[in-house]
Amino acid sequence: MNRRAFLTSSLLTAAGASMLTLSGFRRCSDDLADDEQQMPLLFVGHGSPMNAIEQNEFHKEWQRIGKELPHPTAILCISAHWETNGTWVTAMEKPKTIHDFGGFPQALFDVQYPAPGDPALAQHTASLVKSTPVGLDQQWGLDHGCWSVIRPMFPDADIPVLQLSLDYTRPPEWHYALAAQLAALRKKGVLILGSGNMVHNLRMASFRQPEGYDWAIEINELLKKRISERDHKGVVDYHSLGTAATLAVPTMEHYLPLLYVLGLQGKDEPMAFFNDKTMMGAISMTSVKIG
């Protein structure tokens, strides 16, 4: 059963319960006081799941970023690997570690990231979104797009982690607009992290091609230019960028998490790139920190 079919079956089974107002939580979202400064934003190019356990340049940079960031009260992750019909946020107290991949060493399947969930924060997050209903999910957990990058940053697994799903029926501009509705979370110390890849074409990727193909480098540089210039419309409307963009984004799921992060960028907020590398011909690890 593919991921979308599994999700449709599982979520419809749980829909009656998960869409109800939850009660009896350990704490209220109001207990998360607003801070004077808001949390930074991250878009992380996650690449291969092996980056989670290999001590390579990407893993080491994730570790460095984790030490540099203010300590979050919670993390809300938008991962390329949770696509649903409709929008959902994980609302269980103990999300499972999902190994949603195949063909990798057993050591990768043995990894567990037992971060707690936060049902109260999930309910609060759902309440912030006015443009669409947000369901409270009890079935998913933390997929590898989420834990593979968060685990190196915060290895103690002591920070509550939630995931927000990607509604695959909606266009890019819809996702960008939804993101802005989550802005209040940043002042409650919540780290909002998008995990995907700006350039992601697995069919054209090759281990024999250590760097990017010309078209992958071209579109990666163009997207970086538009992000640097705060030309968000130009990033959202990637279809207008020609053949290189069509090759770079054959499907939207790895691209959309970037739009959530850009949709939350405040006026005059600084930004910087890290892990800025195009590899395997058709994968960009380029990542963005805002704030």
- Give the pLDDT of residue 30: 53
Give the CATH number, domain containing residue 227. 3.40.830.10
- Give the pLDDT of residue 208: 87
Considering just the CA atoms, what is the radius of gyration of the chain in Å? Answer: 18
pLDDT of residue 57 exceeding 70: yes
Q: Both tokens of residue 13?
A: 């089974």
The 10s digit of each residue's pLDDT in 212-258 is: 999 999 999 999 999 999 999 999 999 999 999 999 999 999 999 99
Specify the higher pLDDT residue, 198 or 32: 198
pLDDT of residue 23 exceeding 80: no
Q: How far is Cα of residue 50 from the mean position of the Cα atoms in its chain? A: 17
Q: How far is Cα of residue 26 from the mean position of the Cα atoms in its chain? A: 26
| 34 confidence band (pLDDT: 50, 70, 90) | confident
The 10s digit of each residue's pLDDT in 112-169 is: 999 999 999 999 999 999 999 999 999 999 999 999 999 999 999 999 999 999 999 9
pLDDT of residue 192 exceeding 50: yes
- Which of 128, 134, 279 lies closest to 213 in space, CA to CA? 279
- Give the pLDDT of residue 9: 36
- Give the pLDDT of residue 36: 59
- Give the pLDDT of residue 37: 80
Specify the higher pLDDT residue, 22 or 85: 85
Residue 69 CB partners (closer than 8 Å, separation 6+): 39, 40, 153, 191
| 28 confidence band (pLDDT: 50, 70, 90) | very low
Specify the higher pLDDT residue, 2 or 83: 83
User: How far is Cα 31 from Cα 160, in angstroms, rounded to an integer?
Assistant: 14
User: How far is Cα 56 from Cα 187, in angstroms, rounded to an integer?
Assistant: 33
In the chain, where does DSSP find H-type helix? 3-18, 57-68, 106-109, 119-128, 144-153, 172-180, 214-228, 232-236, 243-248, 256-263
Is the Cβ–Cβ distance between 277 and 285 less than 8 Å?
yes
The proportion of the chain whose per-residue pLDDT surpasses 70, expressed as a percent, equals 88
User: What domain range is 166 assigned to?
Assistant: 3-19+28-290
For residues 128-140, one letter each, b for 16 or more C-beta atoms within 10 angstroms of the residue's C-beta and e for the rest, the string is: ebeeeebbbbbbb
- Give the pLDDT of residue 95: 98
Sign of CA dihedral 37, 117, 152, 76: negative
Query: Into how many domains does the chain fold?
Result: 1
For residues 265-290, one letter each, b for 16 or more C-beta atoms within 10 angstroms of the residue's C-beta and e for the rest, the string is: beeeeebeebbbbbbbbbbbbbbbbb
User: How far is Cα 93 from Cα 91, in angstroms, rounded to an integer?
Assistant: 7
Q: Both tokens of residue 58?
A: 């990407």
- Which of 86, 252, 226, 52 lies closest to 155 in space, CA to CA? 52
pLDDT of residue 181 exceeding 60: yes
pLDDT of residue 59 exceeding 60: yes
